[in-house]
Amino acid sequence: MTSETTYADNRPHVVIIGAGFGGIWAAKTLARQPVRVTLLDKNNYHTFQPLLYQVAAAEIEPEQIGYPVRGILRRMPNVTFTLAEVTAVDLHAQTVTTTQGTLAYDYLILATGSITQFFGTPGAAAHSFSLKTMEEGVRLRNHILTCFERAVHAPPAERRQLLTFVVVGGGPTGVEYAGALSELVYGPLRKDFPELDITDVSIVLLEAAGRVLGGMSESLSAYAARSLDKMKVVVQLEKRVTAVTDTAVTLHDGAQIPTSTVVWVAGVGGEGLARGSGIEVLGNGRVPVLPTLQLPQHERVFAIGDLAAFTVPEGGYLPMVAQVAIQQGIQAAQNIGRHQLGVPLTPFHYWDKGSMATIGRNKAVVDWHGRSFTGFLAWLMWGVIHIMYLIGFRNRIMVMLSWAWRYFTFEQTVRLIMPSSQAGWLALAPEKVNEKSAD
Amino acid sequence: MTSETTYADNRPHVVIIGAGFGGIWAAKTLARQPVRVTLLDKNNYHTFQPLLYQVAAAEIEPEQIGYPVRGILRRMPNVTFTLAEVTAVDLHAQTVTTTQGTLAYDYLILATGSITQFFGTPGAAAHSFSLKTMEEGVRLRNHILTCFERAVHAPPAERRQLLTFVVVGGGPTGVEYAGALSELVYGPLRKDFPELDITDVSIVLLEAAGRVLGGMSESLSAYAARSLDKMKVVVQLEKRVTAVTDTAVTLHDGAQIPTSTVVWVAGVGGEGLARGSGIEVLGNGRVPVLPTLQLPQHERVFAIGDLAAFTVPEGGYLPMVAQVAIQQGIQAAQNIGRHQLGVPLTPFHYWDKGSMATIGRNKAVVDWHGRSFTGFLAWLMWGVIHIMYLIGFRNRIMVMLSWAWRYFTFEQTVRLIMPSSQAGWLALAPEKVNEKSAD
């Protein structure tokens, strides 16, 4: 890397931190500009996060939603990739420090995304599963299957604890995972474990507010709750979690649910690099940006996607979804072009393509500019949109095939407790390490 | 398990240790007999080992060659599965001790397979990669990709060391992996890493004997060597490895090859449970069996597959291949039936279906009862046979699709440094733990 930064090249150097939706789309846009770009990520692949919950439900292979970053960059000769963890950003020296050395930048795009937030809930960081990274997806899949294997040999009380799965957070991810888990458990796992009594299984979805899918219309919330109920998911509203241990979750009303599995999808905040580098952040770690996506007082630094706190006129901030990241990635790259030309930067306008969540077979909800769709049509829309944004033609084919297979056979075939967690199933408490998440 | 063993059931209890080819086919055969069967394995899936090298070459997803054991057993009500590690066998008490408790058996089938043998070569166990388990396949894939990522930032000498890949052992696995690695490196990786000089890459195949594929005819050996040579694999014959470190491999003639990657496929021996339990084994850990597959002096105990040392009239033992395991699994199960009926057990006769190895695109060798096939025809035969024995229709479709994709696009798409080894790429020396392999 040192050799690279001393390489004689008059083009401005743009450093992008993070190869998620925002970083990739920024790189694609900058590939057509007279700049040289270094894209940094701590993984060598882009993760299609919207389908991560399906990895955790044994529906698809993790490799199908990962795509090698270098494969994406092949047709972009001015973009190089460096596999490295960024340890610090110095906005005054205009440098980025990584595990592979230090880089000087002319422009910087912060696209590090988000991490799980536990709001200081005692035990939550140590004892719950998150769903933000490929590793977490595979770990949760392994854990669910391990709980069933262990339940076979456990005494009754422990067996029910092992077979109780609590999802904390009734947003899209919580709803989607609870539904997928229900289809896994009451479909293939019931057949796999004839020695277990299926009535010992319980899937609970806890939501602090008065309805699930709070970001969508009330009719869609009601549809989702009804659908989950039919799928034997116990939806409990207005329940706040006050403590998590490795054997139970405690609610604000004092109730306890014995469980070995708490899936925490109740909150996300900005990834920690910005805060750690002394960049001004909100309480949840997100970086406030100007309408041009620049940082206040740092015209050559942009923040995009989940990390960026972009104020909307109605109050509050843009949601942390893929579409915002993609559109902001393109806009930040274009604004870098404008800055070089010395013309005024244009403010970001979010084109809301609507929000959607799938609940199960033929069941989904779509909220599109105030119009609501449910059922089979919404489910088809959800599928088409997700395939469209998946990177890599092979991944698209493979995911479609996995879906088709599951649709027609009612099987989730990836029921494998795989490598990585060899250690996991012997000692139940897997390394549920959330040390990188906000406590 | 305790509750299970005290369950009133007059049917004899057959315990099978290992869900590889031998164990699975024994269970399938016993499913039609008046016995109850417990199948034990430390993984919840069956691994299709013949394609493991393709996982390590980023060609197919690991999940595609794994199939959940419980899925295989679904239509066999008299067979139960227990996910457990077996720690000891007591042939006198007729019990098996596992991490999930102790089991009494009426009949026992030892089908624990084989492990890598390092023949006491200094440093080999600590510093080489094996290719026996799913975990090892993924770890090797991650390591190869990591070497390329690190080479980008390394000084010249270290760069060449990182880009030198040494495969030790010119048997089928060594030939197949060297060929697959060549296609990965000179295909997609060359395009992924334009910043590297491809002439820095070197793939070396070391064989102690005078030719590769020593088990096949000389013409096939010559064809394989020629094919590898065309694929830029440097085949070195009559080279014994005397030491392995994390930076080099030393040969018996004193030559040293600087390398960060030694793939050890030079030898396999019997898995360690039998030896650890005081069962009589050969020097390489394999269990000598009678022609009926019973252990001498233990008429209710059978050993099959890679673990069993089955003497052939010509001298020596049957090879450690899938076909032997499958046929012995069926035979051991049938002999258990005969033993219950009090009729004489029949000796095992191996029906040799030939041997084969693929080298690369349109290149394979097939040795079938003295007849040799090479090139496209052999390559097609290899593909059809391997798809046939793969368990699970979805896996077959997925693997065929992966192959078709690779064939037409020349891409190995699974170039992902995945979960498990997150820790791996930052500190190069991954946990190359071979503690379970024979030193």
Q: A126-159: per-residue pLDDT in tens?
A: 999 999 999 899 999 999 999 999 999 999 999 9
Say if residue A353's pLDDT is above 90: no
Average of per-residue pLDDT across A323-335: 97
- Picking from B80, B191, B405, the nearest residue to A394 by CB comes out as B405
pLDDT classification of B420: cutoffs 50, 70, 90: low
> Which of B100, B153, B165 has the alpha carbon at shortest distance from B128?
B165
Given the structure tokens 């949601």, which residue do they identify?
A319
**Cα distances (angstroms) measured from residue B226 to each of A64, A181, B231:** 36, 52, 9
Quote the CA–CA distance of A100 and A86 in Å, as a whole number. Answer: 9
Say if residue A2's pLDDT is above 90: no
Which residues touch A241 (CB under 8 Å, ≥6 apart)? Answer: A121, A124, A168, A206, A249, A250, A251, A252, A262, A266
CA-nearest residue of chain A to B196? A80
Quote the CA–CA distance of B80 and B40 in Å, as a whole number. Answer: 9
Average of per-residue pLDDT across B181-205: 96
Query: What tokens were used for A30?
Result: 């900058």
Active site annotation includes A176 = yes
Alpha-carbon dihedral B239, B253, B256, B53, rounded to 10 degrees? 10
How would CATH label the architecture of B124-266+355-426?
3-Layer(bba) Sandwich (3.50)
pLDDT of residue A406: 84
> Which of B64, B119, B141, B348 has the alpha carbon at shortest distance from B252?
B119
CB A176 within 8 A of CB A204: no
The verdict on a CB contact (< 8 Å) between A194 and B77 is yes
CA-nearest residue of chain B to A153? B1
- Following DSSP, what letter does each residue of A201-262 receive, concatenated? -EEEEE-SSSSSSTTS-HHHHHHHHHHHHHTTEEEE-S--EEEE-SSEEEETTS-EEE-SEE
Own/partner contacts of B330-334, CB < 8 Å, gap of 24 or more, are: B330/B25, B330/B26, B330/B28, B330/B29, B331/B293, B331/B304, B332/B22, B332/B26, B332/B109, B332/B293, B332/B302, B332/B304, B333/B25, B333/B26, B333/B27, B333/B28, B333/B29, B333/B30, B333/B33, B333/B109, B334/B29
The verdict on a CB contact (< 8 Å) between B421 and A416 is no
Quote the CA–CA distance of B411 and B400 in Å, as a whole number. Answer: 14
pTM for this predicted structure:
0.91
Alpha-carbon dihedral B79, B80, B81, B86, rounded to 10 degrees? -90
Across chain B, mean pLDDT equals 91
Quote the CA–CA distance of A137 and A114 in Å, as a whole number. Answer: 16
Domains in chain A: boundaries: 2-42+84-116+269-341, 124-266+354-426
Q: CB-based contact (8 Å) between A75 and chain B?
A: no
Helix (H, G, I), strand (E, B) or coil at B298: strand
The verdict on a CB contact (< 8 Å) between A420 and B421 is yes
Pick the CATH number of A124-266+354-426 from 3.30.390.10, 3.10.580.10, 3.50.50.100, 3.30.1330.10: 3.50.50.100
Q: pLDDT tens digits for A243-270?
A: 999 999 999 999 999 999 999 999 999 9
pLDDT classification of B149: cutoffs 50, 70, 90: very high
Q: pLDDT tens digits for B75-93?
A: 999 999 999 999 999 999 9
Residues of chain B neighbouring A101 (CB-CB closer than 8 A): 153
Q: Encode burial over A275-294: b for 16+ CB neighbours within 10 A, e otherwise.
A: bebebebeebbbbbbbebbb
Say if residue B53's pLDDT is above 60: yes
> Which of A339, A328, A323, A287 has the alpha carbon at shortest distance from A308?
A287
The verdict on a CB contact (< 8 Å) between B418 and A134 is yes
The verdict on a CB contact (< 8 Å) between A414 and B70 is no
What count of other Cβ atoms lies within 10 Å of the Cβ of residue B244? Answer: 23
- Our CA-based measurement puts residue B261 at a distance from the nearest CA of chain A, in whole angstroms, of 19
pLDDT classification of B433: cutoffs 50, 70, 90: very low
The correct answer on CATH 2.40.50.140 for the domain covering B2-42+84-116+269-341 is no
The verdict on a CB contact (< 8 Å) between A139 and B392 is no
Looking at A409-413, B141-145, B190-194, which range is the least confident one? A409-413
> Which of B4, B158, B418 should be substituted to probe chain A, the one whose Cβ sees the most A Cβ atoms within 10 Å?
B418
Q: Please indicate whether residue B317 or residue B432 has the higher confidence score (pLDDT).
A: B317
Residues of chain A neighbouring B74 (CB-CB closer than 8 A): 191-192
pLDDT of residue B401: 86
Report residue A338 CA to chain centroid gap: 31
Helix (H, G, I), strand (E, B) or coil at B407: helix
> Which of B330, B334, B352 has the alpha carbon at shortest distance from B25?
B330
pLDDT of residue A437: 46
pLDDT of residue B8: 54
Say if residue B120's pLDDT is above 90: yes
Q: CB-based contact (8 Å) between A439 and chain B?
A: no
The verdict on a CB contact (< 8 Å) between A134 and B64 is no
Q: pLDDT tens digits for B355-395?
A: 999 999 999 999 988 899 999 999 999 999 999 888 888 88
Residues of chain A neighbouring B67 (CB-CB closer than 8 A): 413
The verdict on a CB contact (< 8 Å) between A405 and B426 is no
**Cα distances (angstroms) measured from residue B294 to each of A332, B25, B141, B153:** 72, 17, 39, 57
Q: pLDDT tens digits for A9-58?
A: 789 999 999 999 999 999 999 999 999 999 999 999 999 999 999 999 99
Percent of chain A predicted with pLDDT > 90: 82
pLDDT of residue A420: 53
Percent of chain A predicted with pLDDT > 70: 93
- Matching fold, domains B2-42+84-116+269-341 and B124-266+355-426: yes
Q: Out of B59, B61, B136, B176, which one is annotated catalytic?
A: B176
- Our CA-based measurement puts residue A363 at a distance from the nearest CA of chain B, in whole angstroms, of 24
Quote the CA–CA distance of B437 and B115 in Å, as a whole number. Answer: 5
Given the structure tokens 């942390």, which residue do they identify?
A320
The verdict on a CB contact (< 8 Å) between B394 and A413 is yes
pLDDT of residue A391: 84
Say if residue B413's pLDDT is above 90: no
Indicate the helix (H) or strand (E) that contains A2: helix A2-6
Average of per-residue pLDDT across A328-356: 96
CB B224 within 8 A of CB B213: yes
Residues of chain A neighbouring B417 (CB-CB closer than 8 A): 43-45, 83
Quote the CA–CA distance of B131 and B144 in Å, as a whole number. Answer: 13
pLDDT of residue A428: 32
pLDDT of residue A8: 53
pLDDT of residue B424: 35
The verdict on a CB contact (< 8 Å) between B61 and A66 is no
pLDDT classification of B436: cutoffs 50, 70, 90: very low
- Our CA-based measurement puts residue A386 at a distance from the nearest CA of chain B, in whole angstroms, of 20
pLDDT classification of A409: cutoffs 50, 70, 90: confident
Say if residue A66's pLDDT is above 60: yes
Say if residue A236's pLDDT is above 80: yes
pLDDT of residue B434: 43
Q: CB-based contact (8 Å) between A11 and chain B?
A: no
Sequence-ordered alpha helix ranges (H) in B269-392: 273-276, 322-341, 375-389
Q: CB-based contact (8 Å) between A436 and chain B?
A: no
Interfacial B residues in 88-147 facing A (CB < 8 Å) = 99-101, 134-135, 138-139, 145
- Picking from A1, A71, A188, the nearest residue to B415 by CB comes out as A71
CB A65 within 8 A of CB A365: no
Quote the CA–CA distance of A130 and A299 in Å, as a whole number. Answer: 35
> Which of A418, A428, A433, A434 should be substituted to probe chain B, the one whose Cβ sees the most B Cβ atoms within 10 Å?
A418
Q: CB-based contact (8 Å) between A176 and chain B?
A: no
pLDDT of residue A421: 39
Q: Please indicate whether residue B434 or residue B170 has the higher confidence score (pLDDT).
A: B170
pLDDT classification of B405: cutoffs 50, 70, 90: confident
Q: pLDDT tens digits for B249-270?
A: 999 999 999 999 999 999 999 9
Any idea what DSSP says for residue A154? S
Query: What tokens were used for A415?
Result: 């029921």
Sequence-ordered alpha helix ranges (H) in A156-207: 156-162, 172-184, 190-192
The verdict on a CB contact (< 8 Å) between A416 and B82 is no
Average of per-residue pLDDT across B321-334: 97
Size of interface A-B (CB pairs under 8 A): 140
Query: What tokens were used for A332?
Result: 């930040």
ipTM of the shown complex: 0.89
Quote the CA–CA distance of B89 and A121 in Å, as a whole number. Answer: 47
Helix (H, G, I), strand (E, B) or coil at A37: strand
Helix (H, G, I), strand (E, B) or coil at B278: coil
Identity at B349, one-letter amino acid code = H
